Homo-oligomer: A and B are copies of this chain.
Amino acid sequence: MAAPVNLLQKLALINEHWSPKVVAEMNDYQFKLAKLKGEFVWHSHDHTDEVFMVLKGELTIELRDGAVALSEGDLYVVPKGVEHRPVAQQECQVLLVEPRGVVNTGEAGGDLQAPNDVWI
């Protein structure tokens, strides 16, 4: 029998920005926690939608045709293939849900690409 995951306790273990950590798996999907601050890179995920849920702070998800402002308790689904750029003026804490194997920078790569499938 597995133990429950306390999201706040897990978030307290994260010291870096833009580096999602896996906390649970359901079927072939992963639940990941991340702390975000600053501007990420424009990218997309060609094979999957991606869920952002804001647990603390505020997050803007820039899209090519506008921007979505998210506050605590907001959930947003970035559709498959849609270019997006997360931006957080202050540190923001989020839960991500996506299939196992999704890389944070999608097809874009670059300095902000984080190691994948790292659990805390």
Binding site for B on A (CB under 8 A): 1-8, 23-27, 29, 31, 48-51, 53, 63, 65-66, 68-71, 73-77, 79-80, 97-99
Assembly CA distance A74 to B76 (angstroms): 20
Determine the chain B residues whose CB is within 8 A of the CB of A70 once the complex forms.
4
B26 with A50: CB separation less than 8 A: yes
A6 close to B73 (CB less than 8 A): yes
What's the minimum C-beta distance from A99 to chain B, rounded to whole angstroms? 8
7 new A-B contacts at CB < 8 Å, known A26-B50, A29-B97: A2-B76, A4-B68, A7-B74, A24-B77, A26-B77, A26-B98, A31-B51
* Residues from chain B with Cβ under 8 Å of A4 in the complex: 68-70, 74-76
Across the interface, name the chain B residue whose C-beta is closest to A1: B66
Q: Are B48 and A27 within 8 A (Cβ)?
A: yes
Please, which residues of chain B bring their CB within 8 A of the CB of A73?
Answer: 6-8
